[in-house]
Each structure stands twice: as C-alpha cells, then as structure tokens.
Amino acid sequence: MDTKDLPSVDQLSIEELTAKLEPDLLPKHIAIIMDGNGRWAEMQHLSRVAGHQEGIKSVREMITVCLELGINALTIYAFSQENWNRPVQEISSLMGLLEYYLSTERAKLIEQGVRLRTIGRLDSLPASALQWVRTAEQETSHLDRLHLTVALSYGGRAEIVDAVRELLHEAQDGNLRPDDVDESRIQQYLYTHELPDPDLLIRTSGETRISNFLLWQLAYTELYFTPTLWPDFRRRELLLALLEYQRRERRFGRVLSTVST
C-alpha cells in the first residue's frame, strides 16, 4: 500500500474504513478512557446526566464493533476513585445509570457472549449497584467471546497498593521471600491478572493524560488521543483509531525490512 493513500482516511465511508483493516494487525485488547460527557451535554444545552446517558450508546457500539472484528478484550474507565469528589447528585446519577445499564443490558451481553468483569475498590459502591454488578459478573462468567472489564471506583495507584498489601500478607505467612518478587509476581496480584496488557489505549475529549488508569498495564501500550467527545465516539471513530494503530505498527515493520534488504 502507498503511503500517499494514508492521509485520506477522513473522507472514507465506514465500509471503506472497515475494508482497510488488517485482521492480523488488530489490537487484542483495547482500553478506553471515556471522557467528555459533560462537555458534550453542555454543548447541547443539556444536563451532564444526559451526556452520560448518551455515552452509554457509545459503549454499546464499542462492544458491537469489537465483537464483529473479533477483538477479545475491552476495558472501559467508567468511574475513577477521584470521581467520588464530584457533586453528590452527579455521583448518584452515575450509579443509577450503572444499575440501569446492567439491568437492561445483561440479557444482551449474555446473548452476545460477553463476559463482564469489574476492577476497582467496589466496596465503595452503593449496595444496590454492587448487587447488579455481582449478578452480571456471575451470569456472564462462562462467556468468552469478549472480555468486557468495567473500571469502577478504580485507581491505578490503589491497584498497586492493593497488590503490595497482598504480597506482604504472603510474606508474613512465610510464603514469599524478597527475591521471589518479580514483575510477573506483581502482575498476578493486579486486578487485571486474568487479562493481557492493553495494546491500544484510547482517550476521548482532547485531554492527553492517563488520569490514574491502568498505570502498570499501560507500560507498552500505544496511546491514541482524540478531540472527539465520548458520546460522539462511535463506529467510525473507533475504526479511525484502529487504522492509526495499524499504521504505527506497520511503519515500524517497514523500517526493519528496509534495513535488512
């Protein structure tokens, strides 16, 4: 493929963008910082909650596209530890939306073969939200077409703190010596121990920071920042992110092959 074809992706249709994807070069695990719901709502003269509601539609579309493309893991940042500092009313709307999403979507998740997991300090969640989470996790625990991980009350530093605490408990019990601690041992104690590290991180809304998300796991992840606000991030925007990801991988390949000939 000629590099002169690359800048024109913005003008391509969804079908043309999809056709450009190379199945072998797709990420296996995508992580997303879903940001910009509030600004989207403000631009439409709506309440912030309306922005979060619209954002749920983007989540649905990400799941659909991942399933269609055979992408096996999707991890979404839905509520950070720091988000507990938001106004009480917004927090309770978000928790209400979480319950609404899980109660209305669980049948569809099961039908689609989606396994839902959560990561974070979930004991801070209201009891009824936590109950919906546990129900959805249980009901989907046998599925594996798509591993959907929802980060809730999540902080990357807290995750590392929790891992260190568990390691120290093991040491206290006499089952761990300092030399036994290596990267894979720490990895075993992370909330994400059952998942591969993300290949691609997407953050919407133009912010170019990590905001305490997956600090350990993002060590070698490709980062993709887009000004698009989360409620506007739909199939087309995901395809553009995937094409950019492929381009980065491919360019690296070409340099190597040029050098070797």
Tell me which residues are annotated as active site.
35, 83
Taking CB under 6 A as the criterion, which residues in 18-47 touch ligand IPE? 33-39
Q: Which is nearer to ligand IPE, 167 or 201 (CB)?
A: 201
Extended strands (E) in 41-199: 73-80, 114-119, 146-154
The residue count of the chain comes to 261
CB atoms within 10 A of CB 256: 8
Tokens of 157: 């530093």
| Piece of 156-164, 166-174, 206-214, 240-248 that binds ligand IPE (CB under 6 A) | 206-214
Of 233, 256, 255, residue with least CA distance to 33? 233
Q: Is 194 helix (H, G, I), strand (E, B) or coil?
A: coil
Contact 235, 65 (CB under 8 A): yes
The least distance separating ligand IPE from the CB of residue 81, rounded to whole angstroms, comes to: 9
User: Which of ligand IPE, Mg ion, none interacts with 83 (beta carbon under 5 to 8 A by kind)?
Assistant: ligand IPE
Binder among 53, 205, 217, 246 for ligand IPE (CB under 6 A):
205
Which window, 13-21, 141-149, 202-210, 251-259, contacts ligand IPE (CB under 6 A)?
202-210
Candidates 26, 27, 33, 35; binder of Mg ion (CB under 5 A) is 35
Contact assessment for residue 67 and residue 143, using Cβ atoms and an 8 Å cutoff: no
Out of Mg ion, ligand IPE, none, which partner does residue 211 contact, by CB within 5 to 8 A per kind? ligand IPE
Tell me the three state secondary structure of residue 189.
coil
* Binding stretches for ligand IPE (CB under 6 A): 33-39, 77-80, 83, 94, 205, 207, 209, 211, 230
